[in-house]
């Protein structure tokens, strides 16, 4: 499109030049201005053809694009030279080239167009208005006969115009880039929502098909374990129960992720929720003997949230920290409250590298061989629905810290009782 636009612009400029020459009393003749204009059009067409050929071959040409902007400003100065010099209306094309450069290449393109335009316009002033000024011999001398004040006016006006166009184009380019980023983010959110909808349809049917026989298996194995006399048999039953529990957690995470509901907001005691989750974590899985969970920070504060979903968020973060921890490690669950409430869950595990951090909250992405990749995805969904912000601080080999910004704490007014 840039190549075609360049060819059309210089074709139109050349046509106007020939139209002016045709209206001369001498008629249309192949004089100096005609040949000069034909040369400008030829150069414009050749460069546009080269540009089109490069784009058709799929080759990136950022340096070539800057060169084309400088070439266009040189061609514009040539058109201005044969149509009246600094007073020619063709000088407005300096600003057009600067605008196109900004739209195509951003701030650097706008600056390239403005600087090269200023340089060529200055050369045009020196050639036509300097001592023994030069201009086409077949043009009317009065077109180029300007006083020093008139020349200074045209010079200052055009430079200010180029500066203004460069500034406006740079601003517009930054806004377009920002809007483009927002559009990409919106598409990413839409794709994520579509995947979650597909997962929801799959999970709704899959959960009933798995949970019912899973409950029967777990119950049967527990009965077998109770009546088993051999230690090896009881150990095998424990393995089946443990793996059944892991499969049940997977089904639960899938359902939590796939069938979201709008949060029912109410004042929730975050301290009470955290205390319950910490106590439950100490009595299940690796929290019984393998990993220590320590409660830190302020005792209590209230935020507007859905109590069940907030409990799920805290549970998933604590469970994730326990799973990432080494044997005999410590998981710290801390609450902070000043202008906003914060939940912090820290572990001393292997940490998260920069590449994994980018996909940390994607469904089914996990760095553990036994992980499901759904727990943190549920955390992100709940946080987004509550307008909570999650910050992850981690380096490979140095543990991880998840900070959930819960927003400003709310005051709970006790219910009034009748006197």
223 and 333 share a domain? Answer: no
Summarised one tens digit per residue, pLDDT across range 96-141 is 777 777 777 777 888 888 888 888 888 888 887 766 667 777 676 7
231 and 276 share a domain? Answer: no
Summarised one tens digit per residue, pLDDT across range 10-68 is 777 777 766 666 655 555 555 777 777 778 778 888 887 787 777 777 665 666 778 88
Q: Give me the chain's average pLDDT, please.
A: 77
What pLDDT does residue 309 have?
87
Which of 46-55, 64-73, 225-234, 319-328 is least confident?
225-234
What pLDDT does residue 254 have?
66
Per DSSP, helices labelled H in 58-135 are 62-82, 92-105, 107-129
CATH number (domain holding residue 332): 3.30.565.10
C-alpha 71/C-alpha 62 separation (Å) is 14
Q: Is residue 305 over pLDDT 50?
A: yes
Q: Is residue 5 over pLDDT 80?
A: no
User: Burial level of 247, CB count in 10 A (0-12/13-18/19+)?
Assistant: middle
* % residues pLDDT > 90 (the chain): 5
Domain containing 389: what range? Answer: 266-407
Structure tokens at 390: 């999650």
List all residues 6 or more positions away from 348 whose beta carbon is below 8 Å from its beta carbon. 325, 326, 329, 330, 399
Domain count, the chain: 3
Give the end of a domain, one of 220, 238, 258.
258
CATH number (domain holding residue 206): 1.10.287
Q: How confident is the model at residue 345 (pLDDT cuts 50, 70, 90)?
A: very high
Q: What share of the chain is helix, strand, coil (3-state, %, to 5)?
A: 65, 10, 25
C-alpha 338/C-alpha 299 separation (Å) is 13
251 and 280 share a domain? Answer: no
Look at 259 and 54; give whichever has higher pLDDT. Answer: 54
Cα radius of gyration (the chain)? 36
What pLDDT does residue 260 have?
64
Q: How confident is the model at residue 357 (pLDDT cuts 50, 70, 90)?
A: confident
The stretch 332-361 carries a mean pLDDT of: 85
Summarised one tens digit per residue, pLDDT across range 157-215 is 878 888 888 888 777 777 777 777 777 777 877 777 777 667 666 666 666 677 667 77
Q: Is residue 405 over pLDDT 80?
A: yes
100 and 197 share a domain? Answer: no
Q: Is residue 406 over pLDDT 60?
A: yes
- 419 in a structural domain: no
Q: Is residue 419 over pLDDT 50?
A: no
165 and 232 share a domain? Answer: no
Give the end of a domain, one of 135, 158, 188.
188
365 and 218 share a domain? Answer: no
Asked if residues 34 and 82 have their Cβ atoms less than 8 Å apart, the reply is: no
* Predicted TM-score (pTM) of this structure: 0.46
- 70 in a structural domain: yes
């Amino acid at each position: 499109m840039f190549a075609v636009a360049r060819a059309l612009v210089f074709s139109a400029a050349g046509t106007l030049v020939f139209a002016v020459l045709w209206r001369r009393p001498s008629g249309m003749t192949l004089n100096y201005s005609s040949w000069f204009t034909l040369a400008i059009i030829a150069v414009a067409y050749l460069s546009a053809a080269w540009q089109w050929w490069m784009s058709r071959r799929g080759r990136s040409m950022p340096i070539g694009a800057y060169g084309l902007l400088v070439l266009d400003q040189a061609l514009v100065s040539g058109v201005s030279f044969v149509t009246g010099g600094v007073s020619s209306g063709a000088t407005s094309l300096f600003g057009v080239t600067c605008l196109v450069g900004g739209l195509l290449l951003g701030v650097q393109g706008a600056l390239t167009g403005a600087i090269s335009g200023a340089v060529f316009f200055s050369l045009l002033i020196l050639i036509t208005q300097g001592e023994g000024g030069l201009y086409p011999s077949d043009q009317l001398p009065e077109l180029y006969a300007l006083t020093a004040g008139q020349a200074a006016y045209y010079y200052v006006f055009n430079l200010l115009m180029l500066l203004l166009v460069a500034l406006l184009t740079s601003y517009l380019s930054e806004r377009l880039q920002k809007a483009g980023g927002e559009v990409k983010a919106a598409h990413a959110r839409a794709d994520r929502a579509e995947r979650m909808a597909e997962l929801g349809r799959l999970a709704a049917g899959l959960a009933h098909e798995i949970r019912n026989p899973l409950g029967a298996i777990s119950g049967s194995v527990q009965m077998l374990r109770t009546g088993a006399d051999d230690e090896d048999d009881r150990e095998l039953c424990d393995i089946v129960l443990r793996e059944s529990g892991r499969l049940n957690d997977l089904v639960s995470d899938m359902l939590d992720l796939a069938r979201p509901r709008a949060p029912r907001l109410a004042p929730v005691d975050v301290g009470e929720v955290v205390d319950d989750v910490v106590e439950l974590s100490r009595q299940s899985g690796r929290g019984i003997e393998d990993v220590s969970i320590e409660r830190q920070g302020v005792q209590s504060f209230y935020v507007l949230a859905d109590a069940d979903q907030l409990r799920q968020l805290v549970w998933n973060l604590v469970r994730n920290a326990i799973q990432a921890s080494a044997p005999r490690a410590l998981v710290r669950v801390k609450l902070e409250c000043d202008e906003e409430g914060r939940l912090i869950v820290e572990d001393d595990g292997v940490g998260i590298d920069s590449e994994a951090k980018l996909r940390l909250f994607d469904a089914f992405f996990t760095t553990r061989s036994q992980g499901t990749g759904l727990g943190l995805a549920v955390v992100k969904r709940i946080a987004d629905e509550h307008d909570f912000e999650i910050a992850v601080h981690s380096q490979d080999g140095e543990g991880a810290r998840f900070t959930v910004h819960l927003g400003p704490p709310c005051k709970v007014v006790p219910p009034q009782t009748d006197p």
